[in-house]
Chains A and B, each alone.
Chain A
Amino acid sequence: MNARLADKIATLTFWVGALIVILILGSMIAYLLYHGGKYISWDFLTKPAQAIRAGGGIGPQIFNSFYLLFLSMLITVPIGVLGGIYLAEYAGNNKLTEAIRLCIETLNSLPSIVVGLFGLLVFVNMTGWGYSLISGALALTVINLPLMVRFTEEAIRGVPASLREASLNLGANHWQTILRVVLPSAFPGLVSGAIITSGRVFGEAAALLFTAGMSSPALDFSQWNIFHPASPLNPFRPAETLAVHIWKVNTEGLIPDLRRVADGSAAVLILVVLGFNMAARWLGSKIHRRMTGT
């Protein structure tokens, strides 16, 4: 009787907890979409921003966000995956491993504004690149790397030991086993890890203010020579992202339709992040099903 009552109370507590979380998140998303959703239009999504006049869009900012994301993932994923493989497969229980883990934890809990200032010193000034996509991408890599390493390590540790043993039993060496059995089995986890990390980066502003910069040159979307200053693909040009744009418009915006741009951008941002997370789940389970053939 007592045990059953305790069970009921525990269940109720968990339900209430979950409900509170859902309510807070749900109302935030609803609030942003309600205030910003009505401003989203094709024009808004494609036109360039205005400095003082009304009617600006967020086209280049959206492009910059995605391109920056792509550049940073290009650096983050290979390094992160290699690091995760090392920690899961090769690192012993020793001082070095402990030190590495401590570094990763610390890096992970670093406020992003600190990463931004570090980026300003190293990626912007020391390299002489100035505010640029590449500096921003490197700053984002600093933020992302710990997460990617951890996701990879978890995905690899999740691969059943029986598969590993089966491979070793056939006379495969450690590296062959990792490459042909462990990584393919961990692949769905790696993909969702990469996408979830992407979503986090997409909303990042503080680390980018002083690395990728707060402005975009006039972009010529027909210029595909990546070294041309007006080329959207030039990694050495400054690039204001959507999140940075929201921050800038809200803090120092001079445009008369400030609310429209800020709220509309926020709605777009949250939709994209939501999309990322849903894509991660969907893709992860789809790949898993395809690979296991079930």
Chain B
Amino acid sequence: MTQSKISVKNLNMYYGDFHALKNVNLEVEANQVTALIGPSGCGKSTFLRVLNRMNDLIEGVKVEGSVLLDGCDIYRPEEDVVNLRKRIGMVFQRPNPFPMSVYDNIAYGPRIHGIKDKRKLDEIVEKSLRAAVIWDEVQDRLYKSAIGLSGGQQQRICIARLLAVEPEVLLMDEPTSALDPLATMKIEELIQALKKEYTIIIVTHNMQQAARVSDVTAFFLTGDLLEYGKTDTIFTKPTDKRTEDYITGRFG
């Protein structure tokens, strides 16, 4: 059996006394899209943030169990968290471009990682913007603020910004929840294209979206990972009654 890209074992996570993730076991294969679904507050965002240790920033958070990235535990004490976040990057629910020009937004990561050469940066910026299918819309306004763009454009800028640091895993937390259907469609197509090179985990409240873009689906309920498997199977023959209820909208 080949090694999973990410392998989560007996993961428990607490916000203070609150038990937010309960004994989660999950394997994420490389170059696949994994969708996380489940009702609001079940711990999907929490789970994503565990994967690149964004929860380290919150006080009182406790993590037990192990999260292996290419077989290496990212919670071992000597782990380089800054480097980990370079390898596993997140796209947030709300687009959060920096209040800088489009160019500086994309060049931010590469500059941080020591690339100074102007031509190299130009190259990375164009390549990333093209990969995020936003190049045509912004090539004339690279040096204008990214804040002036529409929500959908901003979200693709954020994706491009992430691609510019060449992460291995993309975590996407409801990346299309603030977008209209057309912008959503563009992002979904983008996800399909990106999975050739990246491993993608996406949180979504939209069942059709999960069915359209993902290979594997995981269903969370109040901190438990109830069921996970091939998206086709989960959507046609779920084993758990609660999964079926949720997917068909008969929940609660």
Contact = CB atoms under 8 A, between A and B. Distances in A.
Given A170-B162, A171-B112, A292-B99, 6 more contacts: A165-B54, A168-B57, A176-B112, A185-B99, A293-B145, A294-B148
A110 interface: no
B70 to A, nearest CB: 17
A171 B113 CA distance: 8
B93 to A, nearest CB: 9
Contacts of A172: 82, 108-109, 112
Interface in A162-207: 162-163, 165-173, 176, 180-181, 184-185
Contacts of A166: 92, 96-98, 158, 161
Contacts of A180: 108, 112
Given A291-B99, A292-B99, A171 B54 contact: no
B125 to A, nearest CB: 14
B51 to A, nearest CB: 12
18 contacts: A163-B96, A165-B54, A165-B57, A169-B52, A169-B90, A169-B162, A170-B86, A170-B108, A170-B165, A171-B83, A172-B82, A180-B108, A180-B112, A184-B100, A292-B145, A292-B147, A293-B101, A293-B146
A17 interface: no
B85 A162 contact: no
Interface in B135-169: 144-148, 158, 161-162, 165
Interface string A113-153: 00000000000000000000000000000000000000000
A174 to B, nearest CB: 9
B148 A168 contact: no
Contacts of B54: 165, 168-169
Interface residues of A, number: 22
A256 interface: no
A292 B104 CA distance: 13
A169 B94 contact: no
B43 interface: no
B140 to A, nearest CB: 15
B161 A170 contact: yes
Contacts of B165: 170-171
A160 interface: yes
A91 B148 CA distance: 35
Given A173-B82, A293-B144, A167 B113 contact: no
